[in-house]
Structure 1
Amino acid sequence: LDFYDEIHRRLTDDLADLYFAPTTRARDNLLKGFHPAEQIYVTGNTSIDAVEEALSPDFHSNLLDGLPDSHRLIILTMSRAENVGEPMRQVFHTVRDIVETNPDVELVCPLTPDPEVMSLAGEVLGERDRIHLTKPLPHKDFLNIAARSTLIITDSGTIQEEAPALHKPVLLLREKTERQEAVDVGAVQIVGTAPTSIQQAVFELLNNERAYQKMATAPNPFGDGHASAHILGIIEDYLKAK
């Protein structure tokens, strides 16, 4: 599937008149593909527009309303195929230990409907104080709960883009990322799935305010939430000039 996706992407690139790159790194990749510089515009990612639109200052949910205001919230999402099995078991044990040793920490873990994932989560994290296993959350609900969180531990790609818009540090359960921009600005830290690496990173963020603020206030490399307006303006100008 990835092979055919890449073929379609390359064909579309060759047919396009305008290129809207979410980041300067994406622009540079287009230039390396010999696409004309005058047709490339760095606009930010429209996913950040969606984040801004989804956030609600008066958002309520049974989950959030049941958490003490003084408690810190960690969100864990983990679903990539390469992490299912022993890596996932290690991570679940690690975050369980983190919750148990920090009495003011709550963990929210939305689970993908995968039998092995649900079984592992139930075995390691189920029926534990301050650990909340949930079904997959609607996107708007997830973003508003993430906005209330202290930090996010994930192997997701999309969350690496969304979390900087929420000013939430991300600890990435991978060895590398296709969204290197977020790592470069300091909004995302790659920790892999080794328990020691995760424990040290979480401890630092929970106990070192300077380290926390450095990640939380990192500039968002994926845009300012106005990508759609930028793109619309460029298209209008282009069509007027035709």
Structure 2
Amino acid sequence: MTRPCTVVISGKGGTGKTTIAALLIDALVAAGERPVLAVDADPNANLHEALGVSITETLGSMREEAFTRSIPPGMDRTGYIRYRFQRALAEAEGYDLLAMGRPEGSGCYCFPNALLTECIGTLERGYRFVIVDSEAGMEHIARGTIRSPDILLITSDPGARGMRTAGRIRDLAEALGLSRDRIYLIVNRDRNDAAAGDTPLIARIPEDPAIGAADLAGTPVVGIPEDSPSRVAAQALAGRLVGECARRRE
């Protein structure tokens, strides 16, 4: 079975990572690249809202003692983890969604992070793409929570400060062992006048009133019109990624 192509979307807060992730997942499914595993690795989980699906459980809500003391008779830890992961998956047409969420109580993220590592290793078989909506930093790559991605997409707004931040994220990713030829830049809310710097540019997502309207209305971003500029750009991005992943498998 072909290993899925793992794409991590990173960038500083407020650059539209979740919007891009949702539109990209939708575009991949529409292009027949299904099934997709969507991973909301940001503790402030809201990818499900952008996609218009409901989640009932997150990895953060799973308590460690349940995986050490509450395993049902006749089931080993691996089987129980697989069972709980399946319960945590939100199933939709063409993709499944797994949300990181926040840990219960005041504990650290160590246990949810460990679960996410096991989860991706257990569930990724059978998926064509794994799309990870990451938090602002590189924690999941640094900790090895997410295996070294095939492609890292760094989102930035078109401003100079945003581009400098994108450059720092790229440098950090390289310092963590990710080769430069796997790192690409997305300029979001682009006005066609942003300099991309020295990170290869894979997409410009134009400013789109439909995105703002969906946000104000509290409706899923994937419900914007088919001819909306951002949706058209996301479809082109999906095509680029399909080609890049196919090339890396050769």
TM-score w.r.t. the length of structure 2 is 0.39
TM-score, normalised to structure 1, is 0.40
Would you tell me which structure has more helix in proportion to its own residues?
A: 1
Whichever structure has more strand as a proportion of its residues is 2
Higher relative contact order (CA 8 A, sep 6+): 2
